Amino acid sequence: MNMNDVTGKVVRPMLRLYLAGDAPGARRALEGRKRLIDAALEPIDIEVIDILERPAEAEIAGILATPTLSDETVTPPRRLIGDISNTAQVLEYFGYRNKDASA
């Protein structure tokens, strides 16, 4: 799922993963992030934002709970809060194709 920017260039999709520090939930979310990147058919970027280090960004985005995986390229933002371990469902929710499903 590549998008074009205003100049017509292809832009890689980007999600943001908001988490808090090194808590167990944050570590699980980071593992889920890696699985999502590996499983997506198209290249996908998932920026990690630790709200303890960058609270202003979380406040601007309106993040109330972590972990939150967010696509802020759409209005309103599309978000999943909590467990992102079901890779196939998460990719489908955000509109990405799974490598395993393309066979």
Rounded CA-CA distance 89/51 in Å is: 25
Q: Give the pTM.
A: 0.84
Residues 34-66 pLDDT 10s: 999 999 998 999 999 999 999 999 999 999 999
**Boundaries of every domain in the chain:** 19-102
| pLDDT of the residue at 75 | 86
Residue 2 has pLDDT above 50, yes or no: no
Q: What is the CATH number of domain 19-102?
A: 3.40.30
Structure letter (DSSP) for residue 102: G
What value does the mean pLDDT take over residues 67-96? 93
Q: What is the mean pLDDT of the chain?
A: 88
Sign of CA dihedral 94, 95, 98, 101: positive
